[in-house]
Amino acid sequence: MADKEELDSLCKRRGFLWPSSEIYGGEAGFYDYGHLGARLRDNWERMWKDFFLGLGEHYHMIYTPNILPYRVLESSGHVDHFSDVLVQCKRCGNSHRGDHLIEDIIGVSAEGMNKGEISTFILEKEIDCPDCQGDLGEGEDFNMMFDLDIGPKGERKGFLRPETAQGTYMNFAREYRALRRKMPFGLATIGSAFRNEISPRQGVYRLREFRQAELQIFFVPEYNQGSFAEAYENLSTKKIPVLRAGCEEQKKMSLDDLDDLPKFYRYHLGKMFEFYSHKMELSEDKFRLRELSEEEKAFYNRIHFDVEVDMGSLGGWKEVAGLHYRGDYDLTQHQESSGQKMSVPIDGERKVPHVIELSFGVDRNIWALLDLGYITGDRDWIDLPVDIAPYQVAVFPLMRKDGMLERSREIYDLLNSCFNAFWDKSGSIGKRYARQDEIGTPYCVTVDYDSLEDDTVTIREISSTDQIRLKVSDLKQELWSYINKEKVFKNNN
Ligand code: GAP
């Protein structure tokens, strides 16, 4: 089980991620990605795009601005509803998020409680300020959006987007036409979202600026369910770890067992499961799909399951993604407020499409990979899916003499043309292996004296530490087969 301090220390020491603006004392809720973190994040985003755009013939990426005009977020409901309950200490003035305070001090979930319920609970349980033990004030609604002025004289109000989704809804009608009126169709985007969290905490888990990867699938339920239902049949008996709303115990359930949910929703639950199981390679006892109760659901959702990962460094089950059935809420709101048609013609009628949203927090998913992958003991190493590790292969000369240095550089150049490769010529060979283990490089290639005789090299695999000898002429192809899982790395000795 990963220890938060150890993992933080590794992330800083090796170049993954750390609090931003550290040299000026930092500002809670902002993180920087170093050279390895940036590689890992880019690779994760590429994997996400490949997998989720692959779900539909008419699924595409779009990119939209971080700043949205006031009217967009007023229409979406964020101006009125996107708030948490803030509780302020009457003595020291520190602000606390009401539901977190209750969860941390009393140990019960307070998600979904309104300001009145939180104030009463705090009074009844005599909860004091955790910082100075002073009395706490009444709970108040605090809108989490960062507002700003647009234009040199601040003529117009705007916000940093609290979710990437809204930019996508703005483009629904234009893309529907540009994509020749196909339905269902999907628009995905990856980018920053901003929330002025009352108490940013637990590293990248609760940030004020974070990245989201979101896919909005537009469809008309009465007409397009068939296209999901067909694909559903291949997944229907698949068992997935589920925690239903109101249940204490999580269970492995087949998608067929969840028959109170529409098939199009179950199909996407199955695909979310596949992403975590096959792509992120998480073991099935480490993640689950948890259904949110009526009180917990976001204001725009009709059906809402979160993906939760059991992360030791963050104290247990934590949300990393969500599957949201938003119905026609968003397009109807924007149609009414903007006066622009969001409906599509079907059988002589006009229908406002519904949205199913697959929403992922990139930072939380990166942390989940590091948390579950970090293995300590005789040897410290990170078990990452090979195709998204910062480097896929490292190349070393055994020694920097007798031509080994030059030959290892040639082999590095050869491999770097098609993999993310790293060349390391300094330190003992043991230390070089250890350095690569600590950053999750799945394969290490070493050029030794025999290499100079017969043009072979050793290749070592990270999890088993097994080594095999390969001809340099076969290296690229073999490595390719291991990384693409076409072949299993096996030591035949
Ligand atoms: N468009 C839907 C939406 O934004 P959300 O549940 O509020 O839904 C989606 O956010 C995902 O974004 C979450 O599952 C989480 O992974 C990530 N996320 C939300 N708030 C975050 C924060 N303050 N810091 C880091 N990630 C966050």
From 134, 147, 125, 49, select the one nearest 93 (Cα to Cα): 134
- Tell me if 288 sits within 8 A of 306, measured CB to CB: no
Alpha helices in 316-426 (DSSP H): 329-338, 362-373, 404-416
330 lines ligand 1 (CB under 6 A): no
Q: Is the pLDDT of residue 493 over 80?
A: no
Confidence label for 492 from pLDDT (cuts 50, 70 and 90): low
CA dist., res. 47 & res. 24, Å (int) = 35
pLDDT tens-digit readout, 321-330: 999 999 999 9
Q: How many CB atoms lie within 10 A of CB 197?
A: 18
Task: Output the residue whose Cα is nearest ligand 1's atom 3.
Answer: 163
Mean pLDDT of 59-83: 97
- Tell me if 192 sits within 8 A of 210, measured CB to CB: yes
206 lines ligand 1 (CB under 6 A): yes
Mean pLDDT of 101-111: 89
308 lines ligand 1 (CB under 6 A): no
Confidence label for 262 from pLDDT (cuts 50, 70 and 90): very high
For residue 212, report the distance from its CA to the centre of ligand 1, in Å. Answer: 7
The residue type found at 202 is Q
Q: Which residues share a beta bridge with 457? A: 470
Res 60: pLDDT: 98
For residue 361, report the distance from its CA to the centre of ligand 1, in Å. Answer: 5
| Residue that has been written with the tokens 């007798």 in this structure | 402
For residue 301, report the distance from its CA to the centre of ligand 1, in Å. Answer: 14
Cβ neighbors of 31 (< 8 A, separation 6 or more) are 17, 18, 19, 20, 203, 204, 207, 363
What domains appear along the chain, each with residue ranges and CATH number?
Answer: 4-66+164-373 (3.30.930.10), 391-483 (3.40.50.800)
Confidence label for 108 from pLDDT (cuts 50, 70 and 90): confident
Task: Output the residue whose Cα is nearest ligand 1's atom 16.
Answer: 361
Res 227: pLDDT: 86
From 130, 98, 100, select the one nearest 114 (Cα to Cα): 98
- Tell me if 165 sits within 8 A of 109, measured CB to CB: no
Confidence label for 199 from pLDDT (cuts 50, 70 and 90): confident
Q: Which burial class, exposed, middle or buried, applies to 175 when counting CB atoms under 10 A from its CB (0-12, 13-18, 19+)? A: middle
Mean pLDDT of 34-54: 98
320 lines ligand 1 (CB under 6 A): yes
For residue 346, report the distance from its CA to the centre of ligand 1, in Å. Answer: 34
Task: Output the residue whose Cα is nearest ligand 1's atom 11.
Answer: 361
Best residue among 97, 359, 362, 367 to mutate for probing ligand 1's pocket (most ligand atoms within 8 Å of CB) is: 359
For residue 164, report the distance from its CA to the centre of ligand 1, in Å. Answer: 10
Q: What percent of the chain has pLDDT over 70?
A: 100
CA dist., res. 171 & res. 64, Å (int) = 9
Q: Is the pLDDT of residue 155 over 90?
A: no
Helix axes 263-274, 221-232, angle to 10 degrees: 40
Confidence label for 226 from pLDDT (cuts 50, 70 and 90): confident
- Tell me if 50 sits within 8 A of 272, measured CB to CB: no
Task: Output the residue whose Cα is nearest ligand 1's atom 12.
Answer: 361
Residue length, the chain? 493
Cβ neighbors of 343 (< 8 A, separation 6 or more) are 335, 350, 351, 352, 353
Q: Write down the mean pLDDT value for the chain.
A: 95
Atom of ligand 1 nearest to the CA of 164: 1
Atom of ligand 1 nearest to the CA of 197: 23
pLDDT tens-digit readout, 267-298: 999 999 999 999 999 999 999 999 999 988 98
Task: Output the residue whose Cα is nearest ligand 1's atom 26.
Answer: 361
In sequence order, what DSSP letters do the residues of 237-276 get, joined into one string? Answer: T-EEEEE-TT-SS-EEEEGGGGTTS-HHHHHHHHHHHHII
Confidence label for 462 from pLDDT (cuts 50, 70 and 90): very high
From 109, 492, 92, select the one nearest 296 (Cα to Cα): 109
Mean pLDDT of 391-410: 96
The token pair that represents 406 in the structure block:
């030059």
